[in-house]
Amino acid sequence: MAESGLVVVDKSAGLTSHDVVARVRRLAGTRKVGHAGTLDPMATGVLVLGVERATRLLGHLMLTEKAYDATIRLGASTTTDDAEGEVTATAATDGVDPDDVRDRLARFVGDIEQVPTAVSAIKVDGKRAYARVRDGEQVELKARPVTVHELVVHDVALPDVRISLRCSSGTYVRAIARDLGAALGVGGHLTALRRTAVGPFDLAVARTLEQLTDDFGVVPIADAARASFPVVDLDDEQAAHVRFGRGLDLALPAAGPHAVFAPDGTFLALYEQRGAQARPVAVFV
């Protein structure tokens, strides 16, 4: 059996997230591989995959914040809100003031309501939105709450704008490009996107598929849990309760999942506060 853990991939442009999963399945010698949040084929950068038991961590990792570098091109709207779509409208950007661009982008910081891009993987009546668009349907998605923790404007060299941002999972950078263009009255779309971090995993620890082919390895599941979640070290009695999936009479220090460890350092489970007790979210022993 392959070792359980995370594989942090630096994805190349042109590959789908499923392409990367298929490649890692072959390298790991197991079908049990999944990813924590897709990256579009155009996008590059950090894609976190789980192998074997670590796939059960992925649903919780998907709730964490992510970071991106992006280039927005003003003056053109596309069907996909990025460079892979067909241009639907164009406008001159000569009259756009760079200060207005910066001001409009500043308004995206914080808790906002964002309408996802129509070619997203969100399901509409059981069918992916992008599949409906591909079949010629008109798709209108509802606005969703997302959080942009930080947005830095590096350069406004019209028609291009280079930014970096940290945001909650579920934030569509393509939608920010679209909405910026709409606010300025000239349209906009994304021409480059590089994900630089998913939670604690950034480009410094990411490896290309070529590097993994030469030397495949995973971040062990215990190390991944310690890096990704608040940690609680248990005594022997508490560890025994966890092995039976019981609640613990603990007041966890923060909201959300916590990684609980036995006295010998074994990663046991994810626990979350539920009333007076901490209850299991996922048990790994």
Is 40 known to be catalytic?
Answer: yes
Count of Cβ atoms closer than 10 Å to residue 36 Cβ: 28
Query: What's the burial of 111, exposed, middle or buried (CB within 10 Å: 0-12/13-18/19+)?
Result: exposed
Q: Which of 40, 81, 82, 179 is catalytic?
A: 40
Distances (CA, A) of 14 to 32, 37, 84, 190, 239: 24, 17, 11, 15, 46
Helix axes 98-106, 173-184, angle to 10 degrees: 130
The number of beta carbons lying within 10 Å of the beta carbon of residue 113 is 9
Q: CA separation (Å) from 281 to 107, 222, 233, 252, 274?
A: 36, 16, 17, 13, 10
Residues catalogued as catalytic: 40
